Amino acid sequence: ISFNCVDSSLSSLKNCQSYINTGMDIATHVALDLVENFNDAEDVNSMENVMLEYAAMDRELNHYMKAIEETVNQIKREKPENIPDLKQLVKEKFAALESQNSDSDLQRNEKYVYFKDQLKEMKKQFCHQSDNDNEAIEQIDEDIAVTQSQVNFICPITQLEMKRPVRNKICGHSYEEDAILKFIQTRKQQKKKVRCPKIGCSHADVKGSDLVLDEALKRAIDSKNKQ
């Protein structure tokens, strides 16, 4: 049995997945823009709903591709004399995967987790408060002035203000991207693990795969420099 047509279809589905990923990236940027410009919380929440919808589409697409791959592998393994009903087999496997769905699946989506993490950091950086809490806002403004002059924006490796900060998903600390990647590469050549360079951090195995762009921090640094 030739599976060239199936392989072509899978390739098209993977392209669709890249469009979903792009949509989730755009929704994240829009949400961060809304927080930075102190827009209504309802607008930010609407972006979270968009992210969950994208996560649901991503899960459905993953299940469908998995159902196709499992069907193909089954046929290759069993080598039946008569060609089975591929469509029905895929449908059954897809239904079995979908029956195990839960809301927690969506909240574990990697891009949704990043969205929530960056949103939380963004609110910290820009101290998003309700408009009627003027006294708190005044106090927060003073705190911002102090915080921005402290070590938040300084890379623990270069001791310079970060231009492209990346955040460690494990311990939550941020570093200049080039600096931490060079640090990891050097230690790898020495066959040694990388301890987080942030003073006081106990995380002793920093990996490149654990680093994500800290867009919230980058926006805060850019905002401070504009001022």
pLDDT tens figures, 116-173: 999 998 888 776 444 444 544 455 555 555 454 445 899 999 999 999 999 999 999 9
What residues have CB less than 8 Å from 128, skipping those under 6 apart?
35, 38, 41, 122
Q: Is the dihedral of CA 25, 49, 101, 76 positive or negative?
A: negative
Q: Is the dihedral of CA 110, 112, 114, 120 positive or negative?
A: negative
- Name the residue ranges covered by the structural domains of the chain: 3-126, 165-225
CA distance 87 to 73: 14
DSSP state letter for 153: G
Domain 165-225 in CATH 3.40.50.720: no
Condensed to tens digits (0 to 9), the pLDDT of residues 93-123 reads: 999 999 999 999 999 999 999 999 999 988 8
If we measure between CA atoms, which residue out of 36, 55, 60 comes closest to residue 125?
36
Q: What does the radius of gyration of the chain's CA atoms come to, in whole angstroms? A: 23
User: Does the pLDDT at position 27 exceed 60?
Assistant: yes
Whole-model pTM? 0.77
